[in-house]
Amino acid sequence: MRSPRFWFPEEARIPLAARLLAPLGQLYAFGASLRQRFSAGECAGIPVICIGNVTAGGAGKTPAAIFIAARLKEMGETPHFLSRGYGGRLKGPVRVDPLQHRSQDVGDEPLLLAAHAPAWVSQNRIAGARAAEEAGATVLVMDDGFQNPSLQKDLSFLVMDGKTGLGNGRVMPAGPLREPYEAALARADALFLIGDGAAGDSAAETAERAGLPLFTAALEADGQVARALKGKQIIAFAGIGRPEKFFSTLEETGADIVSRHSFPDHYAYRQRDIDRLAREAARLGATLVTTEKDLVRCRELSATGIIALPAALHMTDTGALDALLSHVLTRARTQDAYTPFEAPDRSA
C-alpha cells in the first residue's frame, strides 16, 4: 500500500481523515494488545535479535538488520536472518537462494538480506528458527516480527526514521502506527533512530524517558554509484514505504531528477510498467534509477538499463552497540531457561 498523506501531515494538527478513522484505529490497537497478552511465545535454541518498527514501512528496518548482522560477524558470530517473506508465495521454512528464488517466491527483502548472510523465509517463526539453528546459525536476526509474539526475543530494536518519526501518532488506519507507541516501548529494549529530524527527536526523547538506550545512524548512498549519477538526468521510481525518502537521497547525490514515479510498497512490477518507464527515459534522454529492493522485483522482467542506488547505514561509534549485543548474547547463553534445540538424528 502507499502511505496516505494524512499519516505524515506537514502541520502539527491532526487531519480530519485521521480523526474520522480514529475509532477503527482503536479497534486495531485493541486487537494488537490481545495478541500480545495471550501469546507467551516459544524460546528458540539460539539468541534471537529482532529488528522491528512501530510504523508501517519506510523506517529503514532492512538496512538496520544488515548492519546488526555485520556487527555480529565482527564478534565472531554466525548470524542468520529470519523473515516472514512478505509478498512471497512460499510458506517455508526455506533458505533463500538468490540464484534460484524470485521475489514472487520469497519477497524482496529476504533476497537483499541473503546477499549479506544466510536468510530464511518462514511464516511459522518457530519452524524457521529451528531450521536456521540446524543449519549452523549461532544467532538469529529477525527482519521484522516485533508485533509477532510467537517467538521470544532476547533483544528487540525499534527502528525509526528521524524525519517522519511517528507521523500523526495514530494507529492504522488513522495513522502509520502498528500499535500505540507506549505499548511498543514497553516491549522494546533499544531505539534505533535513522537520520535527523524534529519528529524523530521527539519520539527518541520519549524512549529515553522510558529508560531505553538510543542509537543513531545515517543512511548513506553508495559513494561510487552516487558519483556516477551526479549531474545526470534521471527518472526515479520506487515502490517502498516512503518513496520520497529515496528521491531525497537521489537529490543529495547531485542527480537531476526530471521525473519521479511512486508505487505502493512491495509493488509487483509488470512488464508494461517497465516498458512505460523505458519509453519515457528514451524520450527524455534520461537514466532509470531505483532502489535495490525495487530492482530485485524487476529482475524477472525485461528491464535492461535500470540502475539501483544502494544505501547502507553508517554509525560513527559502534562501541555501545557492540557492548549491548555482547551482553545480550552472554545473558541468553547462560540463563537457565535457555535450552538449545536438539536437531533430529538423521543417521538413524
* Dihedral sign of CA atoms 202, 204, 208, 210 in order: positive
Question: Residue 281 to residues 94, 254, 260, 297, 341: CA-CA distances in angstroms?
Answer: 38, 18, 11, 19, 53
Q: pLDDT tens for residues 274-300?
A: 999 999 999 999 999 999 999 998 887
Q: pLDDT tens for residues 187-234?
A: 999 999 998 887 778 888 888 888 889 999 998 999 999 999 999 999
Residues 326 and 217: their CA atoms lie apart, in Å, by 19
Residue 2 has pLDDT above 80, yes or no: no
* Omega of the bond leading into 173 within 30 degrees of 0 (cis): yes
**Would you say the CATH fold of 223-309 matches that of 36-219+313-334?**
yes
The total of other beta-carbon atoms located within 10 Å of residue 149's CB is 18
- Termini Cα distance of the chain: 49
Task: Determine the pLDDT at residue 337.
Answer: 52
Indicate the pLDDT class of residue 338, thresholds 50, 70 and 90: low
Residue 37 has pLDDT above 80, yes or no: no
Torsion of CA 221, 223, 227, 233, to 10 degrees: -20
Domain boundaries, the chain: 36-219+313-334, 223-309
The answer to whether 137 and 47 are in contact (CB under 8 A) is no
Residue 244 has pLDDT above 50, yes or no: yes
Task: Determine the pLDDT at residue 136.
Answer: 96
Most confident stretch, 111-120, 215-224, 308-317: 111-120
| Topology (CATH) of 36-219+313-334 | Rossmann fold (3.40.50)
Residue 328 has pLDDT above 50, yes or no: yes
Indicate the pLDDT class of residue 32, thresholds 50, 70 and 90: confident
Task: Determine the pLDDT at residue 343.
Answer: 43
For the domain bounded by 223-309, which CATH number is listed?
3.40.50
Cell 524457521 -> residue: 128
Residue 79 has pLDDT above 70, yes or no: yes
- Averaged pLDDT, 130-158: 93
| More confident: 299 or 271 | 271
Lookup: cell for 71:
556487527
| Pure H helices in the chain | 16-20, 22-37, 61-74, 103-106, 108-113, 125-134, 181-187, 198-209, 223-229, 243-252, 271-284, 292-298, 319-334
Torsion of CA 14, 15, 20, 23, to 10 degrees: -30
Q: pLDDT tens for residues 57-67?
A: 778 899 999 99
Task: Determine the pLDDT at residue 117.
Answer: 97
| More confident: 243 or 338 | 243
Lookup: cell for 26:
482503536
